[in-house]
Amino acid sequence: MGHKLLLLDHAEALGGAENSLLLLIKHLDHSRWSPTLACSGGPLAERARGLGVAVFTLPMQRLRRSPRALQDWLTGARAIAALARQIDAELIYANTVRAAIYGALATRLVGLPLIWHMRDFWLGESRPRYAWADALGKRLLSAAATRVITNSHAVASNLPVRRKVTVVHNGIEVRRFDPDMDGQPFRQEQGIPSHAPLVGMVGRLRPWKGQDRFLRALARVLAQIPEAWFAIIGGAIFEIADGYTEQLQKLNTDLGLAGRAIFTGHMEDVRPALAALDVFVHPGDPEPFGLVNIEAMAMGKPVVAFHHGALPEIVADTETGVLIAPRDEAALAEAVIALLQNPALRQSMGKAGRVRVETRFTAERMATQVEAVLGEVLA
């Protein structure tokens, strides 16, 4: 039996943080580590049980603007502390910000070390209205944590206690991504001609993912390459009713892209869609990581993205793709056009991207690096 870890995650849907946690659970050395997961239930709990992990349902209520915030925080932290005692946990690992807020108090109650895995620039989903509050929250969580793991140097640069921080890039199971996968089934399903140039992006439908920028750039591409088609892969998995999806549909029509830009909705498995692409585009705001870029590279696709956030840590400019000035939609379009017109360059960048993923961004490498941090803390 290995060292007993209590893992915390608050999310009810499978986002990037949750999928990364599942990969970590799968690739931990289970002769050294015995993980237990406390979460809110749902798909994360089901998938974790499928990996043979004991799962306890401990809802971690949203605290922001809640009239019951203090009571919910105390109740949740006490439940986590009780579970830690029950399983004889040696360490608590918080996979999200909300989980870390609960875990910070729980670890004080039981006298255990806390690992906070910080995966975002901000404590909330988007840039905070009050920067001072975000900075204060980060300082408090960093002080409560024994060690902090971030998924990129870009995220680490936004934290106040750098001496506690270790950067561990996210990883994927590379063997699941086959650059030779046939993309024709996806094209047939979506009504895309078999030999038409196809440009795509992947991301849930949120403003910071940049689908609106993507569409505006596509209009420029279509003017130069009228046979091109486009795929927006992703849906609104967290059911946030802000009208963004409707705005995108209207923009699609206004730009004259209706019939050429396909909205696939959420896809549990994006590999068939990636296989069909000629060029992958990442047009969003600065990313704390951007796992879809690694997945596209693993599928042998060149990546066009903005030079900000963690993207320079992932994409090797001019080798595995093209990095351009942030928010420059004209340059984004020009880079896509240049790649569509140069099949040999697309192929060489795609091959280089695959090699980069195999050497830098594997799930096994990620798990080994996280284990090293856990071992240092317990030592």
64 band by pLDDT with thresholds 50, 70 and 90: confident
Q: Point out the least confidently predicted range of 187-196, 239-248, 325-334, 351-360.
A: 239-248
The confidence score (pLDDT) of residue 240 equals 58
Q: What is the mean pLDDT of the chain?
A: 95
How many other CB atoms sit within 10 Å of the CB of residue 176? 11
The confidence score (pLDDT) of residue 164 equals 95
Contact 307, 286 (CB under 8 A): no
What pTM value is reported for the model?
0.92
The confidence score (pLDDT) of residue 348 equals 98
Angular region, 259: left φ>0, alpha ψ -120 to 50, beta rest: left
Q: What is the 3-state secondary structure (H, E, C) of 22-76?
A: HHHHHHCCCCCEEEEEEECCCHHHHHHHHCCCEEEECCCCCCCCCCCHHHHHHHH
Q: Point out the least confidently predicted range of 60-69, 85-94, 249-258.
A: 60-69
Tens-digit pLDDT profile for residues 232-258: 999 875 555 578 999 999 999 999 998
The confidence score (pLDDT) of residue 12 equals 78
The confidence score (pLDDT) of residue 15 equals 84
Q: Which of 115-129, 153-167, 300-314 has the highest mean pLDDT?
A: 300-314
Mean pLDDT of 75-80: 97
Task: State how beta strands 165-167 and 198-202 pair.
Answer: unpaired
Tell me the HSE value of 152 on the side-chain side, using a 13 A CA sphere.
20
**Looking at domain 175-360, what is its CATH homologous superfamily?**
Glycogen Phosphorylase B; (3.40.50.2000)
| Furthest C-alpha separation in the chain | 64
Q: Point out the least confidently predicted range of 133-147, 220-234, 236-250, 288-302.
A: 236-250
Mean pLDDT of 50-59: 95
Contact 116, 149 (CB under 8 A): yes
Tens-digit pLDDT profile for residues 103-142: 999 999 999 999 999 999 999 877 888 899 999 999 999 9
How many other CB atoms sit within 10 Å of the CB of residue 377? 17
Helix (H) or strand (E) holding 279: strand 279-282
Q: Where in the chain is the domain with CATH 3.40.50.2000?
A: 3-171+362-378, 175-360
The confidence score (pLDDT) of residue 59 equals 85
Contact 240, 209 (CB under 8 A): no
User: Is the confidence at residue 66, as pLDDT, over 90?
Assistant: no
The confidence score (pLDDT) of residue 241 equals 54
Q: Return the SS3 of 278.
A: coil
The residue among 262 and 161 whose pLDDT is bigger is 262
End-to-end CA distance of the chain: 17
Q: Point out the least confidently predicted range of 193-207, 231-245, 291-305, 316-330.
A: 231-245
CA atoms of 94 and 160, how far apart (whole Å): 18
The confidence score (pLDDT) of residue 300 equals 98
Mean pLDDT of 344-363: 98
Residues 6+ apart with CB under 8 A from 36: 4, 5, 6, 7, 53, 54, 55, 56, 83, 87, 89
CATH T-level assignment (fold) for domain 3-171+362-378: Rossmann fold (3.40.50)
Tens-digit pLDDT profile for residues 250-287: 999 999 998 899 999 999 899 999 999 999 999 999 99
The confidence score (pLDDT) of residue 99 equals 97
Contact 228, 195 (CB under 8 A): no
The confidence score (pLDDT) of residue 199 equals 98
Helices (H), 166-282: 184-190, 211-224, 244-254, 271-276
Residues 6+ apart with CB under 8 A from 16: 119, 170, 289, 291
